[in-house]
Amino acid sequence: MKRSSDKDINNLWQSFQTGNSDSFTAIYNIYIYQLIAYGSKLCPDQHSVRDSIQEIFIDLFLKPKKQKTEIKNLKAYLFIALRNRIYKRLQRNSRIETLDTSTENVELDFHIEYSYQEKLEQEEISEEIKNLLQQATAKLPSKQKEIIYLKFEEEMSYEEIAAIMRISVESTRKLFYRAMLSLRSYIDKKEFMTIFFVFFRKKNSI
């Protein structure tokens, strides 16, 4: 499915801020499934995920009326809000036991039980390589799984990922590099290069 451009999103957001509620509905429809997919990997409780998303959109709807805070990157804003809200729900339900109340020092258990199916199927990658990638990704630490998901599946920049995960851009780059090194160690060199070029076809630089 073709995703809307940044320009289209900005136009919709500006339209909503001037009072067009249909534009807000369009924004919701653009992002709802991406947010559900991301939230489901942060929390297995679908009700919590969907409730969190609904709360975020309610807050977003009321935001222009409450304050004139500028949102420069709406997608990153939504992902940040969802990650933080899910964390707070998990902490409130005692699913994460920690004395530290900061999201910066808590590693959420990122579930990455997908195998990049849509992108790999478009490139006619073999089932064998898909399975190898799935198995290799499952061995990665949680933060590395999340970075790979945001980078490849959501095609986000390092700056956007850093903001979402509340780490520095430099740390994001390092974690991503480590993740790629780990994947390369688990997957045959030739097969790894096939996967690598599929993922970076839309983004020419890392």
Q: Please, are residues 182 and 140 in contact by the beta-carbon 8 Å criterion? A: yes
75 and 140 co-located in one domain: no
Averaged pLDDT, 110-137 = 64
CA 28, CA 196: separation in Å to the nearest integer?
32
Residues in the chain: 206
Nearest to 75 by CA among 119, 146, 27, 108: 27
Q: What is the DSSP letter of 103?
A: G
Tell me, yes or no, whether 98 lies in a domain.
yes
Give the per-residue pLDDT at 110: 76
Residue 115: is its pLDDT beyond 50? Answer: no
Same-domain pairing of 18 and 85: yes
Task: Indicate whether 69 and 127 sit together in one domain.
Answer: no
pLDDT(26) > 90: yes
Range with the largest mean pLDDT of 50-59, 122-131, 136-145, 147-156: 50-59
Which of 49, 78, 105 delimits the end of a domain? 105
Domain check: are 20 and 85 in the same one?
A: yes
Residues 20 and 151: their CA atoms lie apart, in Å, by: 32
Residue 171 predicted with pLDDT over 90: yes
The answer to whether residues 80 and 152 belong to one domain is: no
Query: How far is the C-alpha of 146 from the C-alpha of 161, rounded, in Å?
Result: 9
125 and 169 co-located in one domain: yes
> Is residue 74 a part of any domain in this protein?
yes
Lowest mean pLDDT segment, chosen from 15-19, 25-29, 104-108: 104-108
Residue 110 in domain: no
Do 64 and 131 share a domain, yes or no? no
Q: What is the pTM of this model?
A: 0.76
In this prediction, residue 99 has a pLDDT band, given cuts at 50, 70 and 90, of: very low
Domain-embedded: residue 23: yes
Predicted pLDDT of residue 204: 43
pLDDT recorded at residue 92: 76
Can you count the helices (H) and strands (E) in the chain? 10, 0
Q: What is the CATH number of the domain that holds 46?
A: 1.10.1740.10
Least confident of 21-30, 76-85, 89-98, 185-194: 89-98
More confident residue, 122 or 46: 46
What confidence score (pLDDT) does residue 205 get?
A: 39
Integer CA distances (angstroms), 36 to 48, 70, 81, 115, in order: 10, 25, 13, 17
pLDDT of the residue at 173: 94
Tally of domains in the chain = 2
Which of 81, 105, 129 is the last residue before a domain boundary? Answer: 105
Asked if residue 52 is part of any domain, the answer here is yes
Domain containing 11: what range? 6-105
- Does residue 206 form part of some domain? no
In a domain, 50, yes or no: yes
